Structure 1
Amino acid sequence: MSDDRVLVENSDGYVVITLNRPDKLNAFTPIQNNSLMEALDAADENPDCRAIILTGAGRGFCAGQDLGERNPAEGTPDLGQTIETYFNPLVRKLRAIQLPIICAVNGVAAGAGANVALACDIVLAAKSAKFIQAFSKIGLVPDSGGTWTVTRLIGEARAKAIMMTGVPVTAETAEQWGMIWRAVDDGELMNEAHSLAAGMAKGATVGLGLTKMLVQASGANSFDRQLDLERDTQREAGRTPDYAEGVTAFLEKRPAAFTGRR
């Protein structure tokens, strides 16, 4: 990447994307947002990339929109246009990419930063991390999919409370509530993320991507429609080389050598 606001590191079968404005708690700017989108596109189009880690540099994951770029003296901003241009495309992309996306939340995740993290597939958080729906503190409503994602993760009562009060949710509480996958010791966060990504990169990643799509579709489907979608998706999965390899490896009592090819 030519823009050092977002760093990209290629590993064995997966990519690590790091938000890199640590002096600003990695708060989003239009340039950083565009660079993140480009990094995600590049990972998605890279045939050697089979998983993604998203994390932040320094002591925070992301503090949301960089309010330092707002000047009240310039008049009333069109925040809806900002969301439509930057944040909605970002969270849509995170959910549309058919690769496992692991978010390693290394510190505070506030506002849009929290909701971008929660839009990822598997969220690990350092025990010192906090998730803050900070919008109410500046007279705004949650965005970046927060009212949809958080409500489905933890229920309406808790979602309303943390959004209307802005009370921070610790990593350990987030794990207890089912908001994230795991809270881990700070020093083990990236080791855990790399281990998870490496394991997934060696897995049947077409099937993993299809599983991601099925789970995401379930919230809008009736039970019967979801059964039909599972049928159709299983038909697709059953035609992949990874399925043939998985069955063969099982019968031969050896580890499968998945390729992630369709």
Structure 2
Amino acid sequence: MADSAAEPELLWELGADGVAWLTLNRPKAGNSISGAQREEIIARLSAASGDARVRAIVLTGAGTRHFCTGADLSGAAAPAADRPEGLPDQPAGSITRTIAGGAQRLISAVLDCDKPVIAAVNGTAAGIGCHLAYACDLVLAADNAKFIELFVRRGLVVDGGGAYLLTRLVGPQRAKELIFFGDDLPAADAHRLGLVNRITPAGELAETAAEWAARLAAGPTVALGLGKRLVNRALDADRATAFGEEAMSVEVNMSSEDGQEGLRAFLERRQPHFRGW
């Protein structure tokens, strides 16, 4: 599948069941993320939060080799000869602004999306590609997938929320091992460490992701979104704050139609029919 003006870098497909498929579509470039693609991903996830038609999202990569091999750095820096004479190669603060406004915004968009996001890791996830998967609420991986904290191999400090995510997912010692060595982490080992929820044969990944997403899309969307927010904040807040946010979330949810439907169904001894609001 060639990258061209006629072939969008990002595919968005929303089904009648409320499941949206967000596909990184640069297979010849390892599904690396360009700046324009990053901005579209952020915009799509932000819009999905407020779109009642979207009830679950699957994030995956095109092709069978790569989920996402990181950021596309092909145009990251202009040659020194192209800069005005006398200006430093990197103006003070420019890299900080680039990271904050780029990779960190991307990861935050996944974490902050009010709808559940499933990563269907169909191949290699490297660099920011690892963090894109780890930021998702659930991670499915093909049995031939692998994860690589590529930064140290390039002499770079981990970015894109990697230290934040890994420390919370696997603890500081394991996080340091992954970040310090940058070794390939096969799907089976990622599953053992708790970075992956389930491994599937490569040919069954899309089907399993569709099944999981359909279950989430049929669930109480407001409750799922509030639950996601509570879990994501649990390690950052003290107990009093966490308990206060939990109580408030319960009250918000009980004002939703799905919250009321769940209560009615319980009292009427029937299965609830959730509508997503």
In structure 2, what is the Cα distance between the partners aligned to 1:153 and 1:214? 16
Over residues 157-197 of structure 1, what are the superposed CA-to-partner deviations in whole Å (9 max), with x where a residue is unaligned? 11111111111111111111111211111111111111111
Q: Offset at 1:70?
A: 4.3
1:237 matched to 2:253? The reply is yes
Is contact 1:50–1:200 with CA below 8 Å preserved after alignment? yes
Three-state SS of the structure 2 residue aligned to 1:233 is helix
* 8 Å CA contact 1:3, 1:35 repeated in 2: no
Partner of 2:75: 69
Aligned equivalent of 1:196: 212
| Residue in 2 that maps onto 1:7 | 11
Q: Which amino acid aligns with 1:227?
A: F
Q: Which amino acid in 2 is paired with 1:7?
A: L
Tell me how far apart the structure 1 counterparts of residues 266 and 204 of structure 2 sit (CA, whole Å). 33
Aligned amino acid, residue 149 of structure 1: L
The Cα offsets for residues 63-122 of structure 1, whole Å up to 9 and x where unpaired, read as: 001233346844855543321222111111111111101111111110011111111111
Structure 1 residues 229, 116: CA separation in 2 closer, same or farther (over 3 Å shift)?
Answer: same
CA distance in 1, matches of 2:99, 2:77: 17
In 1, the alpha carbon distance for the partners of 2:74 and 2:271 equals 52
Q: Is the 8 A contact 1:5 1:35 kept in 2?
A: no
SS of residue matched to 2:21: strand
User: Percent identical across equivalent pairs?
Assistant: 38
1:125/1:189 contact within 8 Å kept:
yes
- Using the alignment, how far apart are the partners of 1:203 and 1:187 within structure 2? 27
Relative to structure 1, the CA distance from residue 176 to residue 9 in structure 2 (aligned partners, 3 Å threshold; closer, same or farther) is same
CA shift for structure 1 position 35 = 2.1
Q: Structure 2: how far apart are the matches of 1:243 and 1:62?
A: 37
Aligned residues: 260
Structure-2 residue corresponding to 1:28: 33
Query: Quick one: which of 107, 110, 129 aligns to 2:145?
Result: 129
Tell me the amino acid that sits aligned with residue 62 of structure 1.
C
State the SS of the aligned residue for 1:214: helix
Cα pair 2:48 2:113 within 8 Å, conserved:
no
1:155 Cα offset (Å): 1.1
Contact 2:57 2:213 in 1 (8 A): yes
Among 21, 37, 46, which residue is 1:41 paired with? 46
The 2-side partners of 1:258 and 1:237 are apart by 13
For normalisation by structure 2, the TM-score amounts to 0.88
User: Contact (CA 8 Å) 2:48, 2:115: kept in 1 or not?
Assistant: no
CA distance in 2, matches of 1:41, 1:3: 23
Aligned residue in 1 for 2:84 = none
Asked if residue 162 in structure 1 is aligned to residue 166 in structure 2, the reply is no
What amino acid does structure 2 have at the position aligned with 1:86?
A: G
What SS does the corresponding residue of 1:104 show, helix, strand or coil?
A: strand
Bigger mean CA offset, 86-95 vs 98-107: 86-95
Matches within 5 A, 1:130-149: 130-149=146-165
Q: CA RMSD in A?
A: 1.8
* Max Rg structure: 2
Unaligned runs of 5+ residues in structure 1 are none
Secondary structure of the residue aligned to 1:69 is: coil
Aligned partner of residue 55 in structure 1, secondary structure = strand
Deviation of 1:142 after TM superposition, in Å, equals 1.0
User: Any stretches of 5+ residues in structure 2 without a counterpart?
Assistant: 1-5, 82-88
Give 1:102's match in structure 2, choosing from 87, 98, 118: 118
Q: Which amino acid aligns with 2:243?
A: L
Separation in 2, partners of 1:14, 1:145: 26
